[in-house]
Amino acid sequence: MIYLNGDFMPIEEARIPVLDRGFIFGDGVYEVIPVYSRKPFRLAEHLRRLQHSLDGIRLLNPHSGKEWSRLVEQIIAGNESDDQSLYLHVTRGVAKRDHAFPKGVRPTVFIMSNPLPAPPRELLATGVAVVTTNDNRWLRCDIKAISLLPNVLLRQMAIDAGAIETVLLRDGFMTEGAASNIFVVKNEILLAPPKNHLMLPGITYDVVLELAAANKIRHEVRAVSEYEVRTAQELLLTSSTKEIMPITRLDGKSVGDGKPGPIFAMLYQLYQNYKITVMRGSAAF
């Protein structure tokens, strides 16, 4: 069951006009929210980021936080899996094609859900391969825009090379992955690039840094150089759908000793424990 502009229906029945500005211009923003045991994970934070994205494209939020929460609840209830990945999408609506904002047009609101499988155990045990390339995206990567053509092309580079993600480098520093945030371990310290306009402020990224702080894992939020990426002891990838994954190959070379490292193992376990406390409704943060 999906939600589209006020109605709930099976996805096969959902229709949007071809003049929707999402279709014509990619003029919209989105969120991906993980749901564990039918509870949305960090919903308030995802809705806050949605507001940031809407502000970034100068589109009024069509719903209050309460309304979004209610819609999210209804979609979760209307779908089978206990663990789901929710996709929320808002576009500037339907109007005659013209780049300038249309007046008096209602935004299009779409929500769908997909089952959210746990990351495969084999991949957690062996780690995943990534490639690197130059970050050629625009300078507002903090907006979760639906116009994802650069990310699509960048991520496909990884797939074509038999890897799963592309790590992006801009002016000698790492920004993020094509669809994930990247952490580096160097000299036993977890390094994370600071949130700015060059990367998406990941919700999983925040959880990882909070867990590191709460568990006395040494960490620094600062610019991370390409050299540090290439000589890292460990590399980690985070996203709402992939949680935390170890990266063990970079551009065909081993990362560290080529196996998932101790900081990954610690953070992975902390993340799983944290999920359980959230699902029981007793998380400390």
Contact positions toward ligand PDD, by CB under 6 A?
A: 32, 151, 176, 179-181, 200, 202-205, 238-241
CA atoms within 13 A on the CB side of 28: 23
| Angle (nearest 5°) at CA 88 between 115 and 23 | 110
Kindly tell me which of 43 and 95 has the beta carbon lying closer to ligand PDD. 43
Closest CB 49 distance from ligand PDD, rounded Å: 7
Give the span between the Cα atoms of 176 and 85, in whole angstroms: 21
Give the span between the Cα atoms of 187 and 230, in whole angstroms: 13
| Angle (nearest 5°) at CA 200 between 55 and 225 | 140
Closest CB 234 distance from ligand PDD, rounded Å: 18
Task: Please give the single-letter amino acid code of residue 151.
Answer: N
Closest CB 100 distance from ligand PDD, rounded Å: 28
Kindly tell me which of 158 and 179 has the beta carbon lying closer to ligand PDD. 179
144 is an active site residue: yes
72 DSSP 8-state letter: H
- Contacting residues for 140 by C-beta, under 8 A, at least 6 apart: 56, 197
The total number of residues shown for the chain amounts to: 285
Give the helix/strand (H/E) hosting 220: strand 219-221
- Both structure tokens of 21: 């500005």
Residue 178: count of CB within 10 angstroms of its CB: 23
Which candidate in 96, 144, 195, 259 is catalytic?
Answer: 144
Kindly tell me which of 50 and 59 has the beta carbon lying closer to ligand PDD. 50
- Angle in degrees, 0-180, between the axes of helices 43-56 and 65-77, rounded to the nearest 10: 120
DSSP helix/strand/coil, 30: strand
Closest CB 176 distance from ligand PDD, rounded Å: 5
- Both structure tokens of 8: 């709930």
Closest CB 52 distance from ligand PDD, rounded Å: 12
The set of catalytic residues is 144
